[in-house]
Amino acid sequence: MATSFLGLKKSSSSGALNAMEGDGFEYSLGPPDSGFSIFLADRTKKIHFIRHAEGYHNVATKETGSNDCLLRGDEPAAAHHLYDSRLTAKGIAQAEALRSHLASRPSGARSFTAFDLVVVSPLTRTCETALHVFGQPREPGKPAFLNQVDAPKHSPEYAAGVKVAPPRFLVREECRERWGHYVCDGRRSITDIAKEFPNFDFSELVHDEDVFYSDERESDEHCCDRAVRFLQWLNSRPEKCIAVVTHSSFLRHLFGQFGETLKADDRDNLQRLAGNCELRSVVLCSHGVKDGQKVDPLMPPPANPSTVRMGSVYMKPIS
């Protein structure tokens, strides 16, 4: 059975269900028991969530039957061979298979699916997945009309000589995996990662080193909260068709907060654990209550305040 992490509560004013208490992402069925919702078209956008392809950490946990192989033991987390784990050869093949699928998946007036923007978690396996699924991104700061490439091979558009602009790849911490405890969920420095992925746009990140990772697992509540704030950030973007390359636990914390008014099969399909390189497409609908609000960059949770209390020392003034 799917898990709803924080529980869905009814608004005291409208009686509708809230995704999270006080977050403003409210949804309901419109007329009582109609089974439908109506939204203004200009407040919607299609978001294609993609879990990263198979990584070496996925193989290790399958082979050992436990997550214990992902613990750092007595060595620093960054020294572990599964820290910021990479894709396996099978994972690369999964990503390339998804690329082929998107190249023949009709969208809009095209015979293939094209994206305005690809948002990527800063971990290595998601950057690798994005690169193999979408190819080289458009160079940051370069307008679309100066970066045209061929349409997918074997498509009618390719035969007609149609050119398309590759999407930008924008890296955001908000959609990274639930951090802490397991070495695979830490990341290398952005200095190192950017060398490997030179056309990815890292300009909106605040920290070079991974200030989020620790031996403590990020709380469910914090992960749920940043997932909804990530939706708020997505809603603020001008693009209408966005892909997000992210992680299974992050998606579980995101989707587990929504869907309680759906029929059981749809709810289970939304909230179930995503497989490696699985594509799950949703329509994000804004109610307008958070439009225009600034979304601050993700910062580490504040440390617990010290419980040590020091007595004040009186210094006699020097005459």
Catalytic site positions: 52, 177
**CA atoms 65, 71, 77, 81: torsion sign:** negative
Buried b (16+ CB within 10 A) or exposed e, 202-215: beebebeebebbee
Contacts of 223 (CB under 8 A, 6+ apart): 178, 249, 250, 253
Residue identified by tokens 């001008």 is 238
Buried b (16+ CB within 10 A) or exposed e, 258-281: bbeeeeeeebeebbeebebbbbbe
CA 133 to the chain's CA centroid: 16
For residue 119, which of 59, 45, 63 has the smallest C-alpha distance? 45
Other Cβ atoms within 10 Å of 22 Cβ, number: 7
Helix ranges, 104-219 (H): 124-134, 156-159, 190-196
Distance CA 251, CA 272 (A): 9
Q: Side chain identity at 219, as an amino acid letter?
A: S
